[in-house]
């Protein structure tokens, strides 16, 4: 196993189902990752240690997911100069997800967190890969292939719809 370059952290084990999507897409792209639980409120010292040591351990981007009073991404961003991508999680203690979104999105000037959509861990993984792809051609090439597959899928659906009609909402006959 090569040294992880993307760190995926989350406030609780209950975030894993959502955050797994980031891990999955990064594994598909062949990016080396590490995944763990770091809670801003329940393990503040662990959070400080993780954020302060990440760069020296070779991490290039941190993806941090949390729900409710979601302070993990912002606090980690305050402790490192690495890019931090925040994933608002619609957790059991969240009010429709808005608390998670706003806690991660509304950062004070000077401490940036790139916030993705609610439960948008897959895009967080892809964004992290794009950051790495800005200096690693191999990852950029894989992202190009990924993007082309998405394009082909839409074009196939469009062709199918145009040729076979919409059949009461179902594509093709
Ligand atoms: C947050 O509280 C976690 O990130 C999680 O989304 C939420 C609920 O945590 P649990 O009570 O399920 O551990 O800190």
Determine the pLDDT at residue 173: 52
CA of 79 to the centre of ligand 1 (A): 21
CA of 46 to the centre of ligand 1 (A): 16
CA 115 to chain centre: 9
At 128-170, the pLDDT tens digits run 999 999 999 999 999 999 999 999 999 999 999 999 888 777 7
Rounded to two decimals, the pTM is: 0.95
At 84-114, the pLDDT tens digits run 999 999 999 999 999 999 999 999 999 999 9
- Please spell the DSSP secondary structure of 105-129, one letter per residue: H-PPTTS--EE--TT-HHHHHHHHH
At 18-70, the pLDDT tens digits run 999 999 999 999 999 999 999 999 999 999 999 999 999 999 999 999 999 99
Q: Supply the mean pLDDT for the chain.
A: 96
């Amino acid at each position: 196993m090569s040294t992880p370059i993307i760190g995926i952290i989350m406030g609780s084990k209950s975030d894993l189902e959502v955050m797994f999507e980031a891990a999955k897409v990064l594994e598909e792209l062949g990016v080396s990752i590490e995944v763990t639980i770091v809670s801003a409120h329940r393990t503040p010292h662990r959070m400080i240690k993780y954020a302060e040591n990440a760069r020296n351990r070779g991490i290039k981007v941190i993806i941090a997911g949390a729900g409710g009073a979601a302070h993990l991404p912002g606090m980690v961003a305050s402790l490192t100069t690495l890019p931090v991508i925040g994933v608002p999680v619609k957790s059991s203690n969240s009010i429709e997800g808005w608390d998670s979104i706003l806690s991660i999105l509304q950062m004070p000037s000077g401490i940036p967190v790139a916030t993705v959509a609610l439960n948008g861990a897959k895009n967080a993984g892809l964004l992290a890969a794009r950051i790495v792809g800005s200096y690693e051609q191999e990852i950029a090439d894989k992202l190009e292939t990924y993007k082309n597959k998405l394009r082909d899928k839409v074009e196939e659906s469009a062709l199918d719809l145009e040729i076979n009609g919409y059949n009461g909402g179902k594509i093709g006959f």
